[in-house]
Structure 1
Amino acid sequence: MTVHSEHDLREALRAIESTNAKCEKARASLEPGTAQHTLLTRRIAAFGIAIELLKERLGE
Protein backbone atom coordinates (compact mmCIF):
# COMPACT_ATOMS: atom_id res chain seq x y z
CA MET A 1 0.00 0.00 0.00
CA THR A 2 1.33 3.42 -0.95
CA VAL A 3 1.69 5.91 1.86
CA HIS A 4 0.67 9.47 1.04
CA SER A 5 1.37 12.54 3.13
CA GLU A 6 -1.45 14.39 4.83
CA HIS A 7 -0.75 17.32 2.52
CA ASP A 8 -1.19 15.08 -0.55
CA LEU A 9 -4.46 13.71 0.79
CA ARG A 10 -5.79 17.19 1.58
CA GLU A 11 -4.87 18.41 -1.91
CA ALA A 12 -6.60 15.41 -3.47
CA LEU A 13 -9.68 16.05 -1.34
CA ARG A 14 -9.76 19.71 -2.37
CA ALA A 15 -9.45 18.82 -6.05
CA ILE A 16 -12.15 16.12 -5.92
CA GLU A 17 -14.57 18.36 -3.99
CA SER A 18 -14.03 21.14 -6.53
CA THR A 19 -14.61 18.84 -9.49
CA ASN A 20 -17.64 17.32 -7.79
CA ALA A 21 -19.19 20.77 -7.30
CA LYS A 22 -18.64 21.57 -10.98
CA CYS A 23 -20.25 18.28 -11.99
CA GLU A 24 -23.28 18.97 -9.79
CA LYS A 25 -23.66 22.41 -11.33
CA ALA A 26 -23.39 21.00 -14.86
CA ARG A 27 -25.84 18.18 -14.12
CA ALA A 28 -28.52 20.72 -13.19
CA SER A 29 -28.51 21.97 -16.78
CA LEU A 30 -28.88 18.50 -18.34
CA GLU A 31 -32.08 16.69 -19.16
CA PRO A 32 -32.64 13.67 -16.89
CA GLY A 33 -32.46 10.40 -18.78
CA THR A 34 -29.79 11.58 -21.22
CA ALA A 35 -26.45 9.84 -21.41
CA GLN A 36 -24.67 12.98 -20.20
CA HIS A 37 -26.95 13.27 -17.14
CA THR A 38 -26.48 9.60 -16.30
CA LEU A 39 -22.70 9.87 -16.67
CA LEU A 40 -22.51 12.89 -14.36
CA THR A 41 -24.82 11.25 -11.83
CA ARG A 42 -22.54 8.22 -11.67
CA ARG A 43 -19.42 10.39 -11.55
CA ILE A 44 -20.87 12.43 -8.67
CA ALA A 45 -21.63 9.21 -6.78
CA ALA A 46 -18.05 8.00 -7.33
CA PHE A 47 -16.64 11.33 -6.18
CA GLY A 48 -18.83 11.08 -3.08
CA ILE A 49 -17.25 7.74 -2.21
CA ALA A 50 -13.76 9.12 -2.81
CA ILE A 51 -14.50 12.14 -0.59
CA GLU A 52 -15.78 9.91 2.21
CA LEU A 53 -12.71 7.66 2.03
CA LEU A 54 -10.29 10.59 2.01
CA LYS A 55 -12.02 12.20 4.98
CA GLU A 56 -11.95 8.87 6.84
CA ARG A 57 -8.24 8.53 6.10
CA LEU A 58 -7.66 12.10 7.34
CA GLY A 59 -9.66 11.39 10.50
CA GLU A 60 -12.42 13.89 9.74
Structure 2
Amino acid sequence: MPIEFLHGRPLEPDELVMIRQQIEGFDRIEAIDPEVRGIVERNWPQLLSKLPPEEIEP
Protein backbone atom coordinates (compact mmCIF):
# COMPACT_ATOMS: atom_id res chain seq x y z
CA MET A 1 0.00 0.00 0.00
CA PRO A 2 1.41 3.43 -0.89
CA ILE A 3 2.23 6.00 1.75
CA GLU A 4 -0.76 8.25 2.41
CA PHE A 5 -0.68 11.70 3.97
CA LEU A 6 -3.37 13.43 6.00
CA HIS A 7 -2.97 17.16 6.55
CA GLY A 8 0.72 16.93 5.63
CA ARG A 9 1.52 14.06 7.99
CA PRO A 10 2.31 10.55 6.77
CA LEU A 11 -0.14 7.94 8.03
CA GLU A 12 1.03 4.72 9.62
CA PRO A 13 -0.40 1.46 8.21
CA ASP A 14 -2.46 0.96 11.38
CA GLU A 15 -4.00 4.42 10.92
CA LEU A 16 -5.09 3.45 7.40
CA VAL A 17 -6.65 0.28 8.78
CA MET A 18 -8.46 2.37 11.40
CA ILE A 19 -9.84 4.75 8.75
CA ARG A 20 -11.11 1.82 6.67
CA GLN A 21 -12.70 0.13 9.68
CA GLN A 22 -14.42 3.32 10.78
CA ILE A 23 -15.89 3.92 7.33
CA GLU A 24 -17.02 0.30 7.09
CA GLY A 25 -18.63 0.56 10.53
CA PHE A 26 -20.75 3.65 9.85
CA ASP A 27 -24.26 3.18 8.48
CA ARG A 28 -24.35 6.76 7.22
CA ILE A 29 -21.62 9.36 6.77
CA GLU A 30 -22.91 12.90 6.41
CA ALA A 31 -19.63 14.79 6.04
CA ILE A 32 -16.06 13.81 5.25
CA ASP A 33 -12.78 15.65 4.98
CA PRO A 34 -11.70 16.00 1.32
CA GLU A 35 -8.30 14.47 2.11
CA VAL A 36 -9.95 11.43 3.71
CA ARG A 37 -12.18 11.12 0.64
CA GLY A 38 -9.05 11.00 -1.51
CA ILE A 39 -7.54 8.29 0.67
CA VAL A 40 -10.74 6.23 0.32
CA GLU A 41 -10.84 6.78 -3.46
CA ARG A 42 -7.26 5.58 -3.88
CA ASN A 43 -7.33 2.65 -1.47
CA TRP A 44 -10.90 1.38 -1.11
CA PRO A 45 -13.04 2.55 -4.04
CA GLN A 46 -15.64 -0.04 -3.05
CA LEU A 47 -16.40 2.11 0.01
CA LEU A 48 -17.17 5.30 -1.95
CA SER A 49 -20.89 4.50 -1.88
CA LYS A 50 -20.81 5.00 1.91
CA LEU A 51 -19.59 8.59 1.52
CA PRO A 52 -21.78 11.62 0.93
CA PRO A 53 -21.76 13.12 -2.56
CA GLU A 54 -18.64 15.13 -3.31
CA GLU A 55 -19.19 18.86 -2.94
CA ILE A 56 -18.49 20.77 -6.13
CA GLU A 57 -17.11 24.28 -5.62
CA PRO A 58 -18.60 26.95 -7.89
Report the TM-score when normalising by structure 2: 0.33
Q: Which has the higher contact order (CA 8 A, sep 6+)?
A: 1
Q: Larger radius of gyration, structure 1 or 2? A: 1
Q: When you count helix as a share of all residues, which structure comes out higher?
A: 1
Q: Larger % of strand: which? A: 2
Q: What TM-score do you get using the length of structure 1 for normalisation?
A: 0.32
